[in-house]
Amino acid sequence: MKEIDNVLRVLEQTLYAIQNDNSQPLKELSDQTLHAATTGDEDNLLVAVVVYSLGKILSRSDYRTLRDWESFHRIVTSSLKCSINDLKKGNTDKFRKDFMLIKKAINKVSGKLKTYIKEVFKNAEISKASRIYEHGISAGKTARMLGITLYDLQNYIGQTGISEVSLNQTINVKTRIKMLEDLFTK
């Protein structure tokens, strides 16, 4: 895991936000781990996806009225606390197990809440994958890192217009030849 101190800070602030029922900072906290994920660090990527998902879930006050909300909230809070303690002790293997309990908390809920939360996590994975793709990582590698389908990622990228950003487009052949000619004639 890269940038353990940064991940620890992000998780502590995430826990604080959740305990204070404030979903606002979670998207920004998620983005703060994304840079390390662009180097292939799957732990940072997992943190980015989960924190972003929690922000989306907590921002929906109607979810709190559904059955099993308290159970889901309790598991998330407990898993965050354990994950933070694991990182403080330098035990990254235990961190991964404890942190994955947040995603597994979905299986502890039922009905509409389970469906909603699954959808939020799936959309968060695709959204974060598109952000990694923006940083120059291939769509195929990004999809594999997140365990999503290439089809879902490319569909999302096509809808957002990320692939049309000038940084992602190559220079046409005529311009390339002109640049080479200029390079050798000067």
pLDDT tens-digit readout, 96-120: 998 888 888 777 777 788 888 888 8
Q: From CA 52, how far away is CA 94, in angstroms rounded?
A: 22
Q: From CA 114, how far away is CA 82, in angstroms rounded?
A: 23
DSSP 172: P
Q: Over 80: is that where the pLDDT of 12 sits?
A: yes
State mean pLDDT over 144-166. Answer: 73
Q: From CA 163, how far away is CA 134, in angstroms rounded?
A: 8
Does the global pTM surpass 0.95? no
pLDDT tens-digit readout, 25-42: 998 888 887 766 666 677
Q: Which residue has the higher pLDDT, 163 or 152?
A: 152
